[in-house]
Amino acid sequence: MLRPKAEKLDLEGGPDLKDPDLYMRGAHHEIFRALRANEPVYWNPEADGPGFWAVTRYDDIETISKNPKLFSSAKKMGGHRIFNEHEIEENRTDATMISMDPPEHAAYRRMITPGFVPRRISNMEDRIRARVTRLLDNLPKTGEAEFVSAVSAALPIEVLAELFGVPESDGPKLFEWSNATVGEDDPELRVSDEYMRQCVVEMAGYAAGLWQQRAATPGDDLISMLVHAKIDGEPLSFPAYIGTFILLVVAGNETTRNSISGGLLALSEHPQERRKLLDDPSLIPSAVQEIVRWVSPVLHMRRTATEDTELRGRTIRKGDKVVMWYASANRDEEKWADPSRFDVARYKNPDTPVQLGFGAGQHFCLGSRLAELQLRILFEELLRRFPDIEVAGPVRRLRSNFISGIKEMPVRYQV
């Protein structure tokens, strides 16, 4: 999860999917289209590593995701990122459930599942709508705003604060730590190794304080669930708690925030699709699924082969890194006739393939329903209040090969 800033790679030959600049430029979609057509299981060399297999087709990614015995997520095997988590000096926390295989993964997942059951999520709807309404009320009366900081970053952080049972005033700290954790290739977010170490120390100290509070006075929040959880009859270790806390901070923020930002950008770039939602708001749940497919907020996840195997005629050796590119799978021509078209009504058809923006298999996003609820309410209220809202200037993207993120996005609207 944590690593030093990577140096820019300089490789010859085919495309280097590890290069974060590809995603800043938006050049990856055409590269992925060519790979799906010509080399769907592609060997990507690394200047600072052994290389990895890039898997770009939907069905192959589903197969890998549902076979953890053959394709491991375990930290000891390298974990869920292209770099090897167990070789990173800063990453002294225990493995989190995103870097575990069954049965250990299921045991850790059960710790916090009660926080995401449908009834609990539906009970949050009124409070989420109140937050959205307040954020939109607070937009500048000038008719111009920076949307990420004003709305799309603020909403999921406030919801995360509720899940943690902490004051909303703690939100900016959670937001900063999340950015630093995933922003290892962005010099604005990972200013220096020293800054990152400071963020880790601050985050661990904050989490330790919550541990002490909930140990003495438990509630029904996620922190209490972790502090009082038992794994195989034993209390959760403090290093495992810290690792899980960091995972929840990132997972509770990045996917929703960047889907909101990317969704508004897509509606601004496709005004005819925005018009469909204005004419028929009942399409918004379909639009939410299409936004997540279109944005693919998490670009990839990695697995490691536990034995020799074969995929589409390519021999994958035991120990090889296998990287699943969700951003490619979500535009797979084998699944959709027109995957490069943004279509808010696409998911009105119940036979439409499930988008992989929330992953697949055992690691399917536990908070997907909560993310969908936030997106639905946000676009319901946003389009009702500001039907003409549009992106009004250059969009500044996160430099990352892991998160499809937008750092700044100016918008204009009629007041």
Task: List, as one string, the DSSP characters of 291-336.
Answer: HHHHH-SB-EEEEEESS-EEETTEEEPTT-EEEEEHHHHTT-TTT-
Share of the chain above pLDDT 90, in %: 79
Strongest mean pLDDT among 9-18, 89-98, 397-406: 397-406
pLDDT band at 94 (very low <50, low <70, confident <90, very high): low
pLDDT above 70: percentage of residues in the chain = 95
Which of the listed CATH numbers 2.40.10.10, 3.40.50.300, 1.10.630.10, 1.10.12.10 matches domain 21-412? 1.10.630.10
Could you state, in order of their start, the residue ranges of all structural domains in the chain?
21-412
Stretch among 87-91, 143-147, 185-189, 305-309 having the lowest mean pLDDT: 87-91
CA distance 356 to 343: 16
Q: What secondary structure does DSSP assign to 393-414, as a single string?
A: SPPEEP--SSB--EEE-EEE--
Contact 315, 286 (CB under 8 A): no
Residue 365's pLDDT band (cuts 50, 70, 90): very high
Who contacts 294 (Cβ-Cβ below 8 Å, separation ≥6)? 262, 263, 266, 330, 342
Tens digit of pLDDT for each residue in 152-174? 999 999 999 999 999 999 999 99
**Residue (of 190, 185, 226) closest to 208 by Cα position:** 226
| Tokens linked to 173 | 């700290």
Query: What's the pLDDT score for residue 5?
Result: 34
* Torsion sign, CA atoms 301, 343, 122, 219: positive
Report angle CA 65, 69, 71 to the nearest 5 degrees: 50
Tally the C-alpha atoms within 13 A of residue 202's C-alpha that lie toward its C-beta.
Answer: 16
What is the pLDDT at residue 85? 86
- Tokens at 411, concatenated: 């918008």
